[in-house]
Amino acid sequence: MLKKSTFAIVLLFILNSCAVQQKSLSMDDWYAFTKTNIARQEPSKVYDFTDGMIRMYGENVGCLMTKKSYKNFELSLEFRWNIDEKYKINGTKNSGVMYNIPLDASDKVWPKGIQFQIKENTTGDFIFLDQVTAKINGKQVEAGASVVTPKFVANEKPYGEWNTILIRSLNGKITQYLNEKLVNECTDASSTEGKISLNYEHAPIDFKNIKIKNISK
């Protein structure tokens, strides 16, 4: 009986430890700013948090930025282009998820860091912003204001369907997955920790199930 009780306690401890490692990001984890107003604002005053989604739309481009910095993490989320008729736009739909944004980086459109590009036909590209660099296939990416390195393969779902993103950042090695397929990777990234942002670039977009956990390998 004692052995069973001990086993149950150990199992519960393991399950609790696993649960603690992964965190769902809620409205309290973010602040917002726009290109025309870089002051930190309450996120719900800039974007909609409803039905378990973050719905980003409006006249001004801007960001939702995490209050905290993260290092050695796995970030997962889902996105889709907003399907409501009243928000439909013409032209190429464009957005992005940024990460490893240094704590001392300025709140601006767009801040220093690395971006998982979300854009029709190019979703999965890396964008290295404000002199951030890395190695792709062993070759150093030239530093610049905004440097794009293309995805390896396309895997975005049709308009209106939910897509899954997974980003793993571990000691400068970064892998980007789209709908469970590896679409880009780099090593020796010059920015290895920082805040995370969701970008709004005039194309209405929905996000949900945003989760992050620490990783060690």
Q: Does residue 18 fall inside a structural domain? A: no
Quote the pLDDT of residue 4. Answer: 53
Q: Quote the domain boundaries for residue 190.
A: 25-214
Q: Following DSSP, what letter does each residue of 72-125 receive, concatenated? A: SEEEEEEEEE---GGG--SS--EEEEEEEE-TTS---SS-SEEEEEEETTTTT-
- How many domains would you assign to the chain? 1
Q: Does residue 14 fall inside a structural domain? A: no
Q: Does residue 199 fall inside a structural domain? A: yes
Q: Does residue 63 fall inside a structural domain? A: yes
Give the residue carrying structure tokens 């020796």.
188
The number of beta carbons lying within 10 Å of the beta carbon of residue 139 is 9
Q: Does residue 155 fall inside a structural domain? A: yes
Q: Does residue 105 fall inside a structural domain? A: yes
Quote the pLDDT of residue 87. Answer: 72
CATH of the domain at 172: 2.60.120.560
Q: Does residue 102 fall inside a structural domain? A: yes
Q: Does residue 3 fall inside a structural domain? A: no
pLDDT tens sequence for the chain (217 residues):
545 555 544 445 444 554 448 999 999 999 999 999 999 999 999 999 999 999 999 989 999 999 999 999 999 999 999 888 777 677 789 999 999 999 999 999 999 999 999 999 999 999 999 999 999 999 999 999 999 999 999 999 998 899 999 999 999 999 999 999 999 999 999 999 999 999 999 999 999 999 999 999 9
